[in-house]
């Protein structure tokens, strides 16, 4: 296995672990936040989903810059 491939594999595993754990606890977090404010619970869900795509976007920019 090439070092670049191994590094990508490790980064993917970390990424999936973090978002997997966060996704597992997301319903509990949203229910707790929903007791305070429904808007807060919705905002937490939106931030979670947006963070998922922002990470991919940042990685794409990093890879593009690294390629040049």
Q: Residue 39: what pLDDT?
A: 97
Please say if the pLDDT value at position 4 is more than 80.
no
**Structure token pair of residue 2:** 């090439």
Taking only the tens place, the pLDDT of each residue in 6-64 is 888 898 899 999 999 999 999 999 999 999 999 999 999 999 999 989 988 998 898 88
**In whole angstroms, what is the distance from residue 60 CA to residue 49 CA?**
17
Q: What is the mean pLDDT of residues 2-6?
A: 79
Domain that holds residue 32: 3-67
pTM reported for the whole predicted model? 0.75
Strand, helix or coil at 29?
Answer: helix
Contact criterion met (CB below 8 Å) for 29 and 44: yes
| Count of domains forming the chain | 1
**In whole angstroms, what is the distance from residue 66 CA to residue 25 CA?**
35
Residue where the block lists tokens 């429904």: 38
CA-based end-to-end distance of the chain: 24
């Amino acid at each position: 296995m090439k070092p670049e491939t191994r590094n990508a594999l490790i980064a993917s595993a970390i990424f999936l672990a973090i978002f997997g754990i966060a996704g597992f606890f997301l319903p509990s977090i949203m229910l707790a936040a929903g007791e305070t404010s429904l808007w807060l619970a919705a905002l937490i869900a939106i931030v979670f989903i947006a963070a998922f795509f922002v990470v991919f976007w940042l990685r794409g920019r990093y890879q593009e810059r690294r390629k040049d």
